[in-house]
Structure 1
C-alpha cells in the first residue's frame, strides 16, 4: 500500500468505530431490474436512507468527533448549500456543538429551512459558494470557529471511506465500485479502503460534463466548469489536491457523463428501483448506462449518494421521460367548429383506453380554416403503438391529426 497517502485503511476502520450507532449502516441491495438494463450484476448502496438523505453524515461526524473540548465550546462553521450543511448541523446538535452554516443567498428556502431545523445558525451571503468563502474565513477568525470542510480533510475522507468497508463486507465478490465525484473526499476514502481490502478491485469515479474538474485535474489540465446541472451536489470547481494525489497514486479513472444521462438515471432509479436519487446520487448509474460495454458481465456496486431532489424537478423529469417513451402524447386535432365536436374527440380517445390530461381549444389560429377549430389534447397512453392506434382512430373519423413535439408545445406555450 502507498505510504504517502493522507489516510490509510486503519483510519477508515477507526472512523467506522466512531460513527457506529450514530450513522445508519445502509443496505447494499441487488438490483435485478437495473442489471437487466445494464448487462451486469448491479448492487446499490442506499445512502439516500440516512437521516439527512445523503452520505455526508459519515465524514461530518468523524470530523466533529475529533474536536477537543475548547473547539467544541467555540463551535464549528461550514460552507455548503446542500447535504454537507445538513450533515454538520444534524450531528453538531447531537454532540452539543454550536454550528454556523454559510450558504449563498440563492440557496432554495427548503434547504435553508432544513438546515435551521437541525439547530444550526444559517448565514446567507454571496451569490455562489465561492463568494461565501471569504465570509467563512472572517467568521472563523473572529469567533474562533473550526472549519468542517465538506471534502478536503483526512477525517472527512476516512469517514466517507466507511462506505467501502460496508459494501465489501456485504458483497465480497464486487469487482467494481462506481462513485460520484465532486471535490474528491468520497472517492478518496472509498478508493483507499477498497484497494487495501481488494487490490484488484476497480474504482471508477463519475462527474458531470458541466463540472469535470477532477477529470481535468488528473490530466493535469485546467477545468472549464459552469452552467446549470442536475448534479449540483458534485458541481465543484476546485477539487482537493489531496484527493488528486490519492486517485493518481491508485490509478483511479474518472468518467464524464452528460446531463441527459443523469436525467435518465434519476428516472431509472425512480421507476425500476422505486427510490429517489438526486442528480449527484444518480451519476454512478448514469455512467453504467452510458458505457455498458465497459462493465458488461461484471459485479458492480453503485453508491447512490443522496436523494435530496426537489419534488418539482422530479415531477418535470418524470413527465419528460414519459414523453420520450410516448406514454404522454399531445395531438393537435382539427375539427369542424360546431357543438359536440370536442365531446366526440374525448369519446373516441376514451374508447381507445387513453386518459386525457389536458385540453386546449383554439379557434383563432390563422393557419386553420375559418370554419374549423383545433384542439390540443395531451393524453396518457400505454406505449407508442397505443398512441399510433389512437391517432388512426381519430383520422378514421375525418379529423386532421398531427402529433406535437414536446419542445414545440413548450415553445408555443411561451
Structure 2
C-alpha cells in the first residue's frame, strides 16, 4: 500500500464521496492544552467512513465483476456503504451479518436494495456465508477491511486530515479490522512522518490489539458493546491490515464501556454531534486521560453516526453499559 494508491483512490471516487469537515473543539482544546480538531466523517453520505473504501473497491472492479454482484460480511456500516456504492454503479450487493448487528443498521441496508443474510452470532460466522456465496454463486467479495482497494479508500481520510490540519501532531483513529487505521496511518505518515497515529477500540473483543500482542492474527470472543462497529475478528489469514497496523500504528488504547458512553455524551452535549460508540472512542480517550505526551495539534476522527436512537437516548440519560448483563451471561 503506497501513498500513490491512496491518491489514486481520491481521484477515482471524486464526486461520489464527500470531503468531510475538520472543525475545532474549544472544549477539548481547553482540556488538552493544544488545538483539537474533530474530523466529522460521521457526516459522510452513508453515515460513516466506510463509503470511501467500498466505493473505491467497487469502482476498481471490471464491468463483468460488477454484473456478477458483490458480497461482504459486515457489522453494519460497511454493508450500508457497499449497498450504496453497488447500487450507484448498477450492481447488487449481498450483505452477511451476525445477529449482533443492530436492527437499525440492518433495516437501512435493506432499504438500499441489498440482499441481507443474517447468519450466526459473530463476524466470523457471517464471513463463512460470504465464502459460500462466492464459491456457489460467483459473487465478488469486497471485504470490510482486509483488501488493498478498501484500505486505499479509507486512507483518503488521512490525506484530508493533513490538508486541513497541516501541523497535526497526533491522529486518533478507531480500530477494528484495521482498514481505517491502516489507511489513515499510511497517508498521514507518508505526508508527515513525525505525526503519531494511535488506534482506539473497546476492551470487549479487541481483535487487532490481541493479535498485535500475540504477534499474529488470533480469534477473540465477540461481545455486545456500545462500539458495535468495532466488533469482529481480523481474519486468521489477514493479508493487509495486520502488517500495516503493526508497522504504522504508534499504539492501541482500550476503552471501557463507561468511557465510550462518556465520549458519546460529550459529543452530543459539547459538540452538538450525534455519534455511535465507535465514533466516540477518540473523544473518550481524551476525556479519560489515556493519551500521553501531547505535544501538538490533535485530529480526532468521528467515524460514524449510525446508532439506534433509543440506545443513544439511554446513554444521554446516563446509562454507561447497556450490554453488561449480556456480556456477563
Q: State the shift of 1:211 in Å.
A: 2.0
How has the CA–CA distance of structure 1 residues 80 and 248 changed in structure 2, closer, same or farther, with 3 Å as cutoff?
closer
Q: State the shift of 1:105 in Å.
A: 4.3
User: 2:245 corresponds to which residue?
Assistant: 247
Preserved contact between residue 42 and residue 48 of structure 2 (Cα < 8 Å): yes
Supply the distance in 1 between the matched residues of 2:34 and 2:163 (Cα, whole angstroms): 20
User: 1:263 corresponds to which residue?
Assistant: 261
Q: Deviations over 1:46-91 (max 9, x none)?
A: 1111121000000000000011121111111111131011000001
Q: State the shift of 1:18 in Å.
A: 1.1
Larger RCO (alpha carbons 8 Å, 6+ apart): 2
User: 2:182 corresponds to which residue?
Assistant: 188
- The reply on whether 1:88 has 2:82 as its aligned counterpart is yes
- The reply on whether 1:179 has 2:177 as its aligned counterpart is no
User: 1:13 corresponds to which residue?
Assistant: 7
User: 1:138 corresponds to which residue?
Assistant: 132
How has the CA–CA distance of structure 1 residues 50 and 186 changed in structure 2, closer, same or farther, with 3 Å as cutoff?
same
TM-score (norm 2): 0.91
Preserved contact between residue 64 and residue 92 of structure 1 (Cα < 8 Å): yes
Preserved contact between residue 266 and residue 277 of structure 1 (Cα < 8 Å): yes
Preserved contact between residue 212 and residue 223 of structure 1 (Cα < 8 Å): no
- The reply on whether 1:235 has 2:226 as its aligned counterpart is no
Preserved contact between residue 185 and residue 249 of structure 2 (Cα < 8 Å): no
Supply the distance in 2 between the matched residues of 1:145 and 1:251 (Cα, whole angstroms): 33
How has the CA–CA distance of structure 1 residues 106 and 201 changed in structure 2, closer, same or farther, with 3 Å as cutoff?
closer
User: 2:38 corresponds to which residue?
Assistant: 44
Runs (4+) of structure 1 exceeding 4 A deviation are: 221-224
Preserved contact between residue 204 and residue 225 of structure 2 (Cα < 8 Å): yes
User: 1:284 corresponds to which residue?
Assistant: 282
Q: State the shift of 1:100 in Å.
A: 1.1
Where structure 1 has 5 or more consecutive residues not aligned to the other structure, the ranges are 1-6, 325-414
Residue of 210, 217, 228 corresponding to 1:216 = 210
Supply the distance in 2 between the matched residues of 1:109 and 1:248 (Cα, whole angstroms): 34
What is the RMSD computed on CA atoms of the aligned residues?
A: 1.8
Between structures 1 and 2, the one with greater strand share: 1
Matched residue count? 316
Q: What secondary structure does 2:151 align onto?
A: helix
Preserved contact between residue 180 and residue 283 of structure 1 (Cα < 8 Å): yes
Q: Deviations over 1:191-238 (max 9, x none)?
A: 111111011110011111112222222222656544321101011233
User: 2:94 corresponds to which residue?
Assistant: 100
Preserved contact between residue 152 and residue 242 of structure 1 (Cα < 8 Å): yes
Preserved contact between residue 75 and residue 228 of structure 2 (Cα < 8 Å): no
- The reply on whether 1:56 has 2:50 as its aligned counterpart is yes
How has the CA–CA distance of structure 1 residues 123 and 305 changed in structure 2, closer, same or farther, with 3 Å as cutoff?
same
